[in-house]
């Protein structure tokens, strides 16, 4: 195994961690508040990615004219996105991050790392993340100790803004409030998204082993405990479709299994799905963020307000209030539209079209299913493009079809 491959697999192993060094310049503050999304940060996985690329970049590469032309056009667009943004420094540092993960994606496409080894290290990451999350749920607070070095934050039920759930039994009455587990992720939904994508990747691998089966069992238990309702439904669709393709079931059979399982899940866990159809505070806030994203795009229709600059402009597009919910819109599509404009979104659409065309030519369609799951997850939350762990997971999803089997 080449040394650069070793550091790549180490990056996969460290994917759930969020240990990083944050910097807080004045332009990373909004209304005087520190915003994690805006802070220039050096994560542990940034270091492993950088080492991977540096060790590999010395080997010979073939560069085509199309790649050179694409690079030049990208540079022109990036410079415009930075120059015309109201927050150029924030946009500049986010583009540095995007270039980093783009190079990692190019590395995966060019070197084609082993799917078997990738799944092996991913399974270990799933197991230790799930053990930490289950411990947090049992203790109802963070485990503490040396897990801080993996990025676990200190919290308990009384922590402001912590994610909780009303644990109910077949009814919305007689509920008790419980802490939702975070693992080493910044939110239970991020943990759930990582687990469901990883579960489908193991099923795609088709190799049964004690490690893989253990990862599947403990991850499903943890996924239930996260109480991420939207991801439960996406998980049902993804897992049943993946298993259906693996065992060569027909499309009508797969759809029937999906429909029956989804209805059963909603019926059994009705109290936890009830809030999705109720005008609670979370639904109202998400709607306001979506409206703000659309209004922001109207002000900057061609190249957007600038990558990662949504939060700096958000107070301008929200009605006057004493408390501002400073979060990106919970849809990567609205977020990208507001930050990149029509030009940027069109370029992303063209790249996705080329990728889907590539995946359709593969004999195994499971990577395409995982990509569609990515699209569904992106309609519910933003972490796939705003957080370090989400960006790394996105890079793996987009290049999954290029891994060597």
Q: Domain residue spans in the chain?
A: 114-402
Q: Is the pLDDT of residue 259 over 80?
A: no
The candidate with the shortest Cα–Cα distance to 235, out of 255, 262, 267, 253, is 262
pLDDT digits (tens, 9 = 90+) for 73-94: 888 999 999 999 888 999 999 9
Cα–Cα distance list, 140 to 134, 136, 177, 190, 378 (Å)? 10, 5, 10, 18, 29
Residues above pLDDT 70, as percent of the chain: 89
In the numeric block, the tokens 């069109």 are attached to: 346
The candidate with the shortest Cα–Cα distance to 200, out of 225, 237, 227, is 237
Give the residue, 362 or 332, on which the prediction is more confident: 332
Q: Identify the band that residue 397 occupies on the pLDDT scale cut at 50, 70 and 90.
A: very high
Q: Is the pLDDT of residue 144 over 80?
A: no
In the numeric block, the tokens 């006057």 are attached to: 320
**3-state SS assignment for residue 402:** helix
* Cα gap 166→180, rounded to integer Å: 10
Whole-number pLDDT of residue 322: 47
pLDDT digits (tens, 9 = 90+) for 202-232: 988 777 788 999 999 999 999 999 988 888 8
Least confident stretch, 8-22, 74-88, 168-182, 354-368: 168-182
Task: Give pTM, 2 decimals.
Answer: 0.90
């Amino acid at each position: 195994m080449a040394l650069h491959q070793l550091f790549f697999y180490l990056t996969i192993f460290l994917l759930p961690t969020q240990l990083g060094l944050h910097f807080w310049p004045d332009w990373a503050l909004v209304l005087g508040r520190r915003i994690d999304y805006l802070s220039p940060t050096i994560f542990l996985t940034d270091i492993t990615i950088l080492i991977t690329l540096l060790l590999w970049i010395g080997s010979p590469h073939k560069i085509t004219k199309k790649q050179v032309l694409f690079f030049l056009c990208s540079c022109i667009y990036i410079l415009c996105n930075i120059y015309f943004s109201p927050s150029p420094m924030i946009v500049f540092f986010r583009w540095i991050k995007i270039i980093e993960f783009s190079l990692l994606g190019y590395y995966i496409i060019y070197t084609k790392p082993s799917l078997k080894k990738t799944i092996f290290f991913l399974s270990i990451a799933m197991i230790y993340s799930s053990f930490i999350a289950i411990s947090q749920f049992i203790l109802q607070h963070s485990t503490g100790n040396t897990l801080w070095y993996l990025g676990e934050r200190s919290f308990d039920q009384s922590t402001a803004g912590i994610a909780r759930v009303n644990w109910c039994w077949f009814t919305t009455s007689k509920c008790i409030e419980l802490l939702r587990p975070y693992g080493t992720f910044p939110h239970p939904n991020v943990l759930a998204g990582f687990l469901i994508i990883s579960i489908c990747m193991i099923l795609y691998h088709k190799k049964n082993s004690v490690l893989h089966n253990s990862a599947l069992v403990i991850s499903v238990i943890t996924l239930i405990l996260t109480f991420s309702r939207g991801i439960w439904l996406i998980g049902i669709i993804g897992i049943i479709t993946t298993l259906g393709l693996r065992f060569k079931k027909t499309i009508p059979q797969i759809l029937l299994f999906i429909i029956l399982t989804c209805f059963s899940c909603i019926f059994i866990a009705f109290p936890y799905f009830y809030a999705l159809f109720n005008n609670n505070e979370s639904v109202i806030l998400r709607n306001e963020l979506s409206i703000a994203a659309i209004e922001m795009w109207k002000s900057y229709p061609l190249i957007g307000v600038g990558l990662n600059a949504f939060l700096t402009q958000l107070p301008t597009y929200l009605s006057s209030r004493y408390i501002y919910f400073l979060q990106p819109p919970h849809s990567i599509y609205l977020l990208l539209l507001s930050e990149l404009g029509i030009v940027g979104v069109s370029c992303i659409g063209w790249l996705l079209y080329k990728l889907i065309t590539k995946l359709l030519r593969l004999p195994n369609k499971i990577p395409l299913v995982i990509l569609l799951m990515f699209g569904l997850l992106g309609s519910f939350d933003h972490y796939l493009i705003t957080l370090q762990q989400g960006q790394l997971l996105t890079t793996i999803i987009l290049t999954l079809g290029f891994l060597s089997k």
